[in-house]
Chain A
Amino acid sequence: MLDVALRTRRGAFVLDVSFTGPSAGLTALFGPSGCGKSSIVEAIAGLLPPDEGHIRLGAATLFDSARGIDLPLHRRGIGYVFQDARLFPHMSVRANLLYGFRRAGGERRIGFDHVVELLGVGALLQRRPANLSGGERQRVALGRALLAQPRLLLMDEPLAALDAGRKAEIMPYIELLRDDAGIPIVYVSHALDEVVRLADTVVVLAEGRVAAAGDITAVLARLDLFPPDSAYEAGALVAARVAGHEAFALTRLAFDGGELLVPRLDRPIGAGLRLRIRARDVMLALAPHSDISALNVLPAVVEDVRIAGDGCHADVRIAVGRARLVSRITQRSVERLGLVGGAQVFAVIKSVAIDGRSAGPPPHAGETLTD
């Protein structure tokens, strides 16, 4: 388990956070720039020690101001993946991959050939970093960090420098690492789509403090974190399973609250996935209309209504079976439909509003890399 408690002051900025992350899976540190993400990353990596606090990883203490422990960077065993890859320009891809591998003491659980295969960099081994694309570079950087046999992978906005196409190229590899490497990952990002797709635990940061932390589905269902005036779109995360493929290129998904029809997803029947449904794509109705174009009409119960300060918007959290969705509607509609906690409604979701690209496989699907 990763256990972090930090307090540090840089000029007027005060960082005061504490959180824990599971010993497997991906923990996302999420927040806008300037919220303190970088300071936390630098403290965990050992680049910049905090004023006080502790950083523990399982039984190992990396930093503890009270006990005077500050493990130097090179002995922390943290695989650091930077936004800008930082491959050594004077070495081949192979030499880059082997840099940490050769310096790792003790048993090497993660093998060279396996990582090369996993990340698909076999054809690049003889090349120089200057002759790689941005996506290839980031894949090599992932492999290099992994081969150093780390006890934690620290990814500092690894996709921020890539365009959408390259992002989509790297995302599956990070999912592979998350599920196969058997190493906890701390993933820093200000992009909600990355966090939603990759994380199982999320720590939401705001102005140097932890605004929320815990299971991503629960955190995303909180209405207070994504108000209408925030930079991020409110929405909910739904765990689903492919139940079948249908005519008109539609895929039927089964989830805790029933079934959803979405545009065709290229996944086998039975495959698990996580889907993000944006709050503005969910309508509410008092009767189960069938004479509308939307294909998904699900019975639901209103749990919470949050009125925005702008006088116009409202976020409504509804329970659809055991799943939670968020609907963003106008305050006028809230009043007209008489929406209060406990009200019976129907959630109307357009199929085309669901973006298949936001779907990722759920965490912990595969076998482990160290087998």
Chain B
Amino acid sequence: MPLSPVELEALLLSLRISGVAVLFSLPPALLCAFVLARTAFPGKVLVDGLVHLPLVLPPVVMGYLLLITLGTRAPIGGWLLDTFGIRLVFSWTGAAVAAGIVTFPFQVRAMRLSLEAVDPGLEAAARSLGATRADVFASVTLPLMSPGIVAGVITAFAASLGEFGAIITFVSNVPGETQTLPLAIYSAIQTPGNEAAAARLAALSIGLALAGLLSAEVAGRQARRLIGR
């Protein structure tokens, strides 16, 4: 199934956008998971809801919200443009921001579940053996929650590849810049006589999604074996 240069470009762009999106949302997701799993504070329910909002919000609404906050004439977007010359609208970095935010809950959920499964008794044992809190986190907590981190990252990556509504709303459909696989499929369907391209890209999407899910399963199992569970 040979891909045309345009289709190949869409594939590579999708992979790049998803990669950057997951990479940059991983540290804040970890922090969120930690706060939600290990702390208690008034308004925690609200934070929990906010983190999970992208799961239930229509993606187009997400895109709209991004547009009115990060658009060039919006408060944050304007400041980014004036201060750093960063323009998110119509650029692949904007697509990565949209994908990162929409798939954020996937990462937080998986990490939080795995963190809640870590026995605090093991952390107390590590502390009694002379490890500082940061040391305990790095040497005990993080390795023990690694199956959750791996699963969260892969699921978020696979979901990023399929993100459509938020991306097209926020950064539009620019071939070579913001036209990811789903957007390319959409364009192909809209263009008469391009049914074959649409079918190829759709098959590619299905393959990628399946590979993502499978590798999440395999990697999770591998990580669990590594930590002796």
Contacts and interface: CB of A to CB of B under 8 A. Distances in A.
Nearest to A99: B129
B128 A89 contact: no
Interface stretch (A3-11, A49-57, A80-88): A80-88
A100 interface: yes
B128 A79 contact: yes
Contacts of B139: 99
Which of B122, B128, B229 is the most central at the interface, judged by chain A CB atoms within 10 Å of its CB?
B128
Interface residues of B, number: 21
A336 interface: no
Interface in B3-21: none
Contact of B228 (A78, A129, A144): A129
B121 A145 contact: no
A79 B130 CA distance: 9
B129 A103 contact: yes
B162 interface: no
Interface in A1-55: 45, 47
Interface in A57-109: 73-80, 82, 84, 86, 88-90, 99-100, 103-105
Contacts of A89: 122, 144, 227-229
B130 A74 contact: yes
B135 A103 contact: yes
A1 to B, nearest CB: 21
B143 interface: yes
A284 interface: no
A82 B129 contact: no
A148 B130 CA distance: 7
Given A103-B135, A130-B228, A88 B140 contact: yes
B129 A84 contact: no
A128 interface: yes
Contact of A73 (B119, B124, B144, B227): B124
Nearest to A83: B121
A103 B144 contact: no
Nearest to B140: A88
Interface residues of A, number: 27
A104 B135 CA distance: 13
A32 B143 CA distance: 38
Contacts of A148: 128-130
Contacts of B138: none
B228 A99 contact: no
Contacts of A78: 128
A74 B137 CA distance: 13
Interface in B175-189: none
Contact of A90 (B125, B128, B143): B143
Interface in B112-134: 119, 121-122, 124-132
Nearest to B121: A86
Interface in A183-224: none
B226 interface: yes
Given A47-B124, A84-B121, A100 B227 contact: no
B125 A80 contact: yes
Given A74-B131, A148-B130, A90 B121 contact: no
User: Shortest 7 CB-CB distances between A and B: which pairs?
Assistant: A100-B129, A90-B227, A89-B228, A103-B130, A80-B128, A86-B125, A73-B127
Interface of A: 45, 47, 73-80, 82, 84, 86, 88-90, 99-100, 103-105, 128-130, 144-145, 148
10 contacts: A47-B124, A74-B129, A75-B130, A76-B128, A78-B128, A79-B129, A86-B119, A144-B129, A148-B129, A148-B130
Given A82-B125, A86-B121, 6 more contacts: A80-B128, A82-B121, A86-B124, A89-B227, A99-B139, A145-B128
